[in-house]
């Protein structure tokens, strides 16, 4: 998608929204595209309208023109157009020859910079979607680390560490999940340290990146197992958000930690009944090898805090129970600090990433009490799965503000979503929200 901006000029080719049309109605005339939207016409409806307009031209290419009058409209139109123009067919033979779609945005001069900014952001949303849609035989943990290192940006350094280093660091939870795979696991660490960042604040971004999840010995059902290539969407989101923030030059210090491996089974795979020791010294009884994401995050969260992150937010496709609770539209999140939560809530609303805060309560800790270790990695009761997972993670976050995003439903969808004209696969959830959160920290 290419974006051109200009000041209002009475263009005779533009997109127009009529609130009295039925949602999703698309009609063409020679010079006008009319897209129905529900009333009231909010930012989300406009984002969807822009996506539907772009989708109508995706197969043939061309130019679609919009007039925007305020900042919210600019965001919605740029983002929606990118959603509708995205093609998930990365491995189709004709992918490289797909036609180009151009967005011509008629907007006041003072909004042109915002349009350029959002174009940068959605480019990284698309990159996160590409990562999620790459097959597991192509996107291994080592390949994900190579992708992170390909972001050659000012003030950004990237390093990655393999199996021996992970074990030497005492990351017994992470190492156990990786033990069953021949693919080398990777702890990916990105640092963004702009010279004008305020002292005393480092935003930690932690991502789960299981490049394929069979469930391990606690094997998943075969139906839709192919979608388990998307179990790395949290890692994709924090990598691409870090790159977007650096490209925009936001003055906020970042420490990004991504734990990446496959979760598969062989003779070395970890088992139900095993007891693991995490990097912070706490022991974990394994109840279910398919509750592996929280084990990766345990060591990654501890590493981020010990490495200087003052505020931590993690993103993970963590629990099926969150998908059951919120479907594929909202992500659920948790926070241990209300001031940090207020920043996150504001970032979610500005970015348009739908998010709903869930409770943390110490009484949920009993769900992961173990007779044999400090805790266990799941519960046999089948209750409050997303909440008990958050309480498990809290054991490894150290002192300071922390938030956890369970993006299981919203980050990788199994069927088309009419809003935003989303195809099955990765959605890039989290990139826009993280950029807005960094913007708030930069302005503080």
Q: So which residues are the catalytic ones?
A: 220, 294
Q: Is 10 left (phi over 0), alpha (psi -120 to 50) or beta?
A: left
305 Cβ contact partners less than 8 Å away, ≥ 6 residues apart? 204, 312, 397, 398, 399, 400
How far lies 415's CA from each of 35, 224, 321, 328, 412, in Å? 23, 11, 18, 9, 9
Q: How many CB atoms lie within 10 A of CB 343?
A: 20
Q: Which residue has the tokens 């958050």?
A: 390
* CA–CA gap between residue 194 and residue 266 (Å, rounded): 44
Buried-state track 260-281, b at ≥16 Cβ within 10 A, e below 16: bbbbbbeeebbeeebebbbbbe
Closest to 444 (Cα-Cα) out of 244, 193, 255, 201: 201
* CA–CA gap between residue 429 and residue 342 (Å, rounded): 19
Whether cis (ω within 30° of 0) applies to the bond prior to 40 is: yes
């Amino acid at each position: 998608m290419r974006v051109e901006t200009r000041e209002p000029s009475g263009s005779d080719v533009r997109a127009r929204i009529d609130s009295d049309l039925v949602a999703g109605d698309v009609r063409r005339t020679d010079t006008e595209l009319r897209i129905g939207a529900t009333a009231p016409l909010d930012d989300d409806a406009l984002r969807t309208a822009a996506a539907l307009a772009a989708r109508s031209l995706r197969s043939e290419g061309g130019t679609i023109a919009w007039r925007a009058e305020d900042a919210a409209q600019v965001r919605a139109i740029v983002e929606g157009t990118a959603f509708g123009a995205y093609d998930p067919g990365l491995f189709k033979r004709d992918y490289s020859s797909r036609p180009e779609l151009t967005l011509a945005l008629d907007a006041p001069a003072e909004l042109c910079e915002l349009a350029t900014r959002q174009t940068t952001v959605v480019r990284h949303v698309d990159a996160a979607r590409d990562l999620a849609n790459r097959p597991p035989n192509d996107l291994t943990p080592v390949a994900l680390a190579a992708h992170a290192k390909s972001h050659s940006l000012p003030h950004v350094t990237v390093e990655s560490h393999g199996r021996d280093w992970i074990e030497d660091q005492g990351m017994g939870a992470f190492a156990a999940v990786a033990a069953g795979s021949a693919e080398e696991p990777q702890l990916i660490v990105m640092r963004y340290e702009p010279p004008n960042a305020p002292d005393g604040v480092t935003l930690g971004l932690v991502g789960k990146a299981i490049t394929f999840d069979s469930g391990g010995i606690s094997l998943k059902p075969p139906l839709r197992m192919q979608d388990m290539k998307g179990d790395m969407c949290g890692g994709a989101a924090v990598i691409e958000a870090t790159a977007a923030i650096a490209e925009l030059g936001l003055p906020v210090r970042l420490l990004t930690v991504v734990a990446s491996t496959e979760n598969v089974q062989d003779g070395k795979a970890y088992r139900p009944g095993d007891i693991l020791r995490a990097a912070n010294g706490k022991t974990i009884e394994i109840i279910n090898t398919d509750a592996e994401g929280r084990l990766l995050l345990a060591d990654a969260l501890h590493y981020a805090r010990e490495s200087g992150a003052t505020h931590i937010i993690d993103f993970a496709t963590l629990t099926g129970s969150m998908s059951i609770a919120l479907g594929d539209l909202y992500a659920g999140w948790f926070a241990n600090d209300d001031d940090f939560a207020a920043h996150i809530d504001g970032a979610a609303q500005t970015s348009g990433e739908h998010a709903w805060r869930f409770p943390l309560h110490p009484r949920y800790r009993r769900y992961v009490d173990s007779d044999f270790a400090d805790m266990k990695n799941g519960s046999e009761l089948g209750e409050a799965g997303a909440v008990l997972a958050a309480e498990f993670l809290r054991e490894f976050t150290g002192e300071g503000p922390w938030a956890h995003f369970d993006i299981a439903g919203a980050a990788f969808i199994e069927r088309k979503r009419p809003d935003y004209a989303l195809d099955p696969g990765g959605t890039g959830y989290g990139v826009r929200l993280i950029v807005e959160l960094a913007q708030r920290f930069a302005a503080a």
